[in-house]
Amino acid sequence: MRELAGKIVAITGAASGIGAATAVELAERGCDLALSDINDEGLQQTARRAEKHGVKVSTHVVDTGDRDAVYAFADAVVAEHGAVHMIINNAGVALTADVEIMSDENLEWLFDINFWGVVHGTRAFLPHLKRAGGGHIVNVSSVFGFIGVPSQSAYCAAKFAVRGFTESLGQELDIAGGKIKVTSVHPGGIRTNIAKAARFEGTVASKGGSQRGAASLFSKVARTTPEKAAKIIVAGIVADKRKVRIGGDAVAIDLMQRVAPLGYQRGMVRLAKLGRLLSRG
Ligand SMILES: NC(=O)c1ccc[n+]([C@@H]2O[C@H](COP(=O)([O-])OP(=O)(O)OC[C@H]3O[C@@H](n4cnc5c(N)ncnc54)[C@H](O)[C@@H]3O)[C@@H](O)[C@H]2O)c1
């Protein structure tokens, strides 16, 4: 989407982190916004920051795992703003659990939000983007959409699925004439609330580990700020990039899995074993 000013953009997961920062960045560029999240308090905070830039902002409490709610969100955006030109399917959650012990409940919770939320958001908004004569769909995957990681099977599966879904979608829309652009976003470690809000069931690799320990480790390795991530996402949208990687870690991981698709997995095992050794002291 070459020209952003005056466009109407819907964002999921806009109460915090990457979604909130992207909302503010787009407001600065003159976009009207329809912000959604399950966290109304956070939504209102993002809305106040965005409104300072003189754009129109609406807020919508929506659980992206709820298909009907997402379709109602799309209709409400058009009813309130008159049209919609972009959907950013960003809402996401994390879960640390080995396959053997992971509960079906947590696996379904994560998939409902991280995979089905993206599918619902895409399919609910697509007819409206066509009616507007063109637009942009931005789906947030992860570097864990490039590689598998121990204790992150659900998250990796959902993020791989988002990548596959988005790549297929992009090709279909190109065949249909290319008026709707598609971007798949792959952040590395971004300093947000994702690890604090994550569910934790346990893992062989970090026996004795905890939710707090995992969040503390994440805060040490996540190097990029949400504001920097938002600038990279918006630059990718303006350049109509099909794939956006955020951070040096994302670029390195993408390269690693392409150069050494088996070697990286051996490296992961070594790293996990070392972590287990160190945590035993
Ligand atoms: N932070 C990272 O290092 C990182 C890395 C790769 C990918 N991502 C992805 O980026 C996206 C944004 O995550 P973030 O890091 O900004 O995390 P965050 O926790 O700061 O923000 C996520 C937002 O999603 C919202 N949310 C959670 N469940 C929801 C639901 N059912 N319906 C609607 N909203 C819901 C939360 O309330 C929160 O506001 C996610 O898809 C995440 O998987 C993050």
- Select from 89, 183, 190 the residue to mutate for testing ligand 1; criterion: most ligand atoms less than 8 Å from CB: 190
pLDDT > 60? residue 135: yes
Domain boundaries, the chain: 8-280
Pocket of ligand 1 contains residue 189 by CB under 6 Å? yes
Residue 127 dihedral angles phi and psi, to the nearest 5°:
-60, -35
The CATH number for 8-280, chosen from 3.10.129.10, 3.40.50.720, 3.40.50.300, 3.40.640.10, is 3.40.50.720
- Out of 14-28, 92-106, 201-215, least confident range: 201-215
Cβ–Cβ under 8 Å, residues 81 and 132: no
pLDDT tens-digit map of 211-240 = 888 888 888 889 899 999 999 999 999 999
**Which protein residue has the closest C-alpha to ligand 1 atom 17?**
194
